[in-house]
Structure 1
Amino acid sequence: MPSLEKPLTRKRRRASSVVEGFVQLPAVKPRGRRKKDDGVVAEVLINGNGTASSSKAEVLKEEKKGKLKGEKLTNGVNGSTSHKSDKLVEIPNGVEKKSGKPKEKEKEKEREKVDELKGAQKDGKKEREKDDREKDLERNIDNVIFGDVTFKAWYPSWYPKEIIGEKALSCEGKGPGITVKELYICRRCFGYSKVLVEWVRHCRCCEREVPGTKVYSHGAEGEAGGWSVWEVDGGVETLFCQNLSLFAKLFLDNKSVFFDVSGFNYFLLVHTSPHTLETQIIGFFSKEKMSWDNNNLACILIFPPWQRKGLGALLMGVSYAIAKREGIMGGPEKPISDLGKKGYKRYWGAEIARWLLGVRDTDRKKGKGMVDVERISKETWIAPDDCLNVLREMGVVEKAGRGKGTVERVRIDKVRVKEWVAKERLGLERVVDEDGFAEGYALKEVEVEEDEEVEEEEAEE
């Protein structure tokens, strides 16, 4: 039976082959949001002949090339286009992705992490430096037995290797820790030992009196105990001053002179018992024999059991009184320790407040006066810089311009001065009695001659 289908002509045969080729193509699915695979699919659909005209690498290469030239690319699936100048890159599956901003945010996060790491490294370095400083100041002696009193040491002191050991002396500044649990100190000569039996034997035999010369007496020594100050030449009493310096280093962090004491004079604060008349050294201050900076004090210490009794102010007052007798305007050697700063602030403040409250007002307004720093310095014998710093810390200074020449003038409110004195609980009594000094002590011959000339002139008039 003849076929009813019409024979295929040449045109119909070509069209059929195209359709069959198209139908026989395997289904190609886009893989997620990957743009490269979609580019391949688009190329196949555009060709429409059942075979890809170019490989995947060539398609990607042409696509990249078209982007660089700013050509318009047809995706084929949804007809979307993309340009190089666009910030948004269009993907065939309809998902939009930002290309620039996420990278910038990631870079910022990375920079923040790097900064955090650098900050952590700096903090770690500071902590290590702090630990090193603490190790440098690590104590090598734990307890001190001074006569019948026991107390702890604050800082290391470099006693001989027979006491603290050879390891402590060869550690190059970093202490090995506690090497001596108890150090016994003679309360008369400041001799030392770490063996109890030897120390007891020494104390029974030691009859050392207070060395040097008495230069100041404070109060009656027969009533409620008296205080006195003795001057000791480091070049004469060398061993005593060396032992005293080693003992003082246990409580001072900035003292460095232990053995070369010949260039210093030591002023000992001595207490005399009203019942037994026994003497006890409870503090001292040292002073250079020749100071190019006009320092009236090198270091000062009240032994820990006798601190917080106002005795430090007594030694400070004696040092300023001696400097005034010598005609030298100065102050303590700097830098001053933290404990010394507190003591000097109270002493300077009390001296300045007492003079300010006693000076006659020069302003019509009640309770206020007009003075200059130079005048305050001459009256109290405190250096001008120290005067100005203390007045500022007291909060009683008001700027009043300059006087004659370059003299800086300030306005002082007496009401504020009284409030500050009450707040700090200071006494305004004189710390040092000028009559307590030995006759003629530390007075220059030039000053004595000048005083005699003034008296003669007054007598002639």
Structure 2
Amino acid sequence: MAQRLYTQNDYVLALCREDQGQERLPAGIMKVRDVQPQYYLRFGKINTRLDGWYAHDEVELLRGLNLEKFRETIEQIKLSKENLHNVPEVERLIMSGYEMQTWYYAPFPQELQNPEIYCCEFCLNFMSSKRQYQRHLQKCSQKCPPGNEIYRDSKVCVFEVDGAIQKNYCRNISYIARLFLLHKTLEIDVDIFYFYVMYAKFGDSYKLVGYFSKEKPIHNILSCILTLPCYQGKGYGSLLIDAAYMLCSRENNIGSPEKPLSDLGYLSFMPYWQTRIIDFLSSWPDPTVSIADIAKHTLFTAVDICDSLRQKGIMLFRSSNEVVIYLKPEYVEEFYKRMVKSEDKAHHYLDSQYLHYWPVNPFMREWKGDLEPFKLDIDLNK
């Protein structure tokens, strides 16, 4: 007897593989492949990057009491269906010897809409088959990215690539970012962006680990930032943010990333801001400090400083409208231990002496105009 295939109107239970869950969770069927058969599942209260294709024997139809038990979650899934982004056709990206499970849909040309695509890490051209990829690696003459090398130390190097000059390279790196960033708008019009691409040294070779882009006429330190999934959790995200603020420093500017931040962007920037601010406060010699003092030494905007301090519970508001920063020495020590333990950063930091970058049109931003509304005297001893 032929097995009954489920439809896009059905709801099922399944183990969320990417979440490494041990309990079956309710999910909605977004798309069906009849040949295998397979179902593309959208889980309820879990980030959409954990959606994926599941075989028929991996799912169980929700019915009866179970359907009522998960009614609230099912309503959330229904809402997701109404705002559904396209189901990704590209499921795996093979690059630099890694096979990366993609998270989101990217509008690749039809010839690349395959479950598996390959990418050369230097020219960033895509191939639809392993055979094409192997032949390309033998013939590709580009052994470093295009653009200008603006930073190199013993561990990493950074290239500045102009989207107006290297359009194909920059469009392709935008395609890669779209596979892993939900709110990433594909930068087809790459002319107005600079792309800062980071490569890390592994033995005698360099591997692409991530990049950030920056819109040319805008003062944000970056528009988009991505660390490839195979290198996440190893400190490269912080190095990319470091590089963005280094460029900001050379421009005599304070800056902030383009808002709103994605969930991964928030998780990257907030610890970075907090660590830098606490590092500054712990060595500040005076009994009082202003937001302007912090901004001038960190290059963070007043809004980012206040958000970081409030989120960590360091900035407190008294009934008398006074604002204080409550920073105990033992808290600083405990904070650093926790940060080092939770983030395996391999203890590498960028050094501005290796930065070879000068802006074409440097400008001096008016400190007072940007910071005066947030100029608060804060007593570190209270």
TM over 0.5: yes
Evaluate the alpha carbon distance shift between residue 409 and residue 283 of structure 1 in structure 2; reply closer, same or farther with a 3 A threshold: same
Aligned to 2:299: 381
Give the letter for the 1:214 counterpart: E
Give the C-alpha shift of residue 161 in structure 1: 1.6
Aligned to 2:94: 145
CA–CA distance in 1 between the matches of 2:299 and 2:98? Answer: 37
Aligned residue for 1:269, secondary structure, equals: strand
CA–CA distance in 2 between the matches of 1:213 and 1:250? Answer: 26
Aligned to 1:411: 325
CA–CA distance in 2 between the matches of 1:228 and 1:283? Answer: 11
| Residues 296-346 of structure 1 deviation map (CA, whole Å, 9 limit, x = unaligned) | 101011111111111100110111121122123221111111111011011
Contact 2:251/2:358 (CA < 8 Å) preserved in 1? no
Structure 2, gaps ≥5 residues long: 1-69, 365-382
Contact 1:373/1:410 (CA < 8 Å) preserved in 2? no
Indicate the larger mover: 209-218 or 308-317. 209-218
CA–CA distance in 2 between the matches of 1:251 and 1:151? Answer: 10
Aligned to 2:338: 423
Q: From the CA coordinates, give the structure whose radius of gyration is larger.
A: 1
Give the C-alpha shift of residue 355 in structure 1: 0.4
1:245 equivalent to 2:170? Answer no
CA–CA distance in 2 between the matches of 1:430 and 1:163? Answer: 37
Give the C-alpha shift of residue 432 in structure 1: 3.1
Q: Give 1:2-401 correspondences, 5 Å limit.
A: 126-133=76-83, 135-136=84-85, 138-164=87-113, 180-208=114-142, 209-218=144-153, 220=154, 226-274=155-203, 276=204, 278-291=205-218, 294-362=219-287, 370-399=288-317
Q: Among 425, 437, 441, which residue is 2:358 paired with? A: 441
Evaluate the alpha carbon distance shift between residue 257 and residue 284 of structure 1 in structure 2; reply closer, same or farther with a 3 A threshold: same
Give the C-alpha shift of residue 445 in structure 1: 6.1
Indicate the larger mover: 426-435 or 136-145. 426-435
Aligned residue for 1:331, secondary structure, equals: coil
Higher helix share: 1
Give the letter for the 2:82 counterpart: D
Give the C-alpha shift of residue 400 in structure 1: 6.5
Give the C-alpha shift of residue 390 in structure 1: 0.8
CA–CA distance in 2 between the matches of 1:192 and 1:357? Answer: 48
CA–CA distance in 2 between the matches of 1:379 and 1:192? Answer: 43
Contact 1:298/1:332 (CA < 8 Å) preserved in 2? yes
Give the C-alpha shift of residue 184 in structure 1: 1.3
| Residues 117-165 of structure 1 deviation map (CA, whole Å, 9 limit, x = unaligned) | xxx99987644112334x415322111111321121111111112222x
Contact 1:400/1:411 (CA < 8 Å) preserved in 2? no
Give the letter for the 2:351 counterpart: D
CA–CA distance in 2 between the matches of 1:395 and 1:337? Answer: 22
TM, length-normalised to structure 2: 0.69
Contact 1:215/1:441 (CA < 8 Å) preserved in 2? no
Evaluate the alpha carbon distance shift between residue 390 and residue 137 of structure 1 in structure 2; reply closer, same or farther with a 3 A threshold: farther
Contact 2:251/2:363 (CA < 8 Å) preserved in 1? no
Contact 1:146/1:184 (CA < 8 Å) preserved in 2? yes
| Residues 169-225 of structure 1 deviation map (CA, whole Å, 9 limit, x = unaligned) | xxxxxxxxxxx221111122111122222222112111212211111223x2xxxxx
CA–CA distance in 2 between the matches of 1:443 and 1:422? Answer: 41
Give the C-alpha shift of residue 378 in structure 1: 1.6
Aligned residue for 1:341, secondary structure, equals: helix
| Structure with more relative contact order (C-alpha pairs < 8 Å, separation 6 or more) | 2
Structure 1, gaps ≥5 residues long: 1-119, 165-179, 221-225, 363-369, 448-461
| Residues 396-427 of structure 1 deviation map (CA, whole Å, 9 limit, x = unaligned) | 22337999xxxx85333233333333333379
Higher strand share: 2
Contact 2:315/2:323 (CA < 8 Å) preserved in 1? no
Give the letter for the 1:139 counterpart: P
CA–CA distance in 2 between the matches of 1:330 and 1:356? Answer: 20
Contact 2:147/2:162 (CA < 8 Å) preserved in 1? yes
CA–CA distance in 2 between the matches of 1:152 and 1:281? Answer: 17
Aligned to 2:17: none
TM, length-normalised to structure 1: 0.58
1:432 equivalent to 2:350? Answer yes
Contact 2:162/2:195 (CA < 8 Å) preserved in 1? yes
Aligned residue for 1:144, secondary structure, equals: strand
CA–CA distance in 1 between the matches of 2:307 and 2:333? Answer: 18
CA–CA distance in 1 between the matches of 2:239 and 2:211? Answer: 11
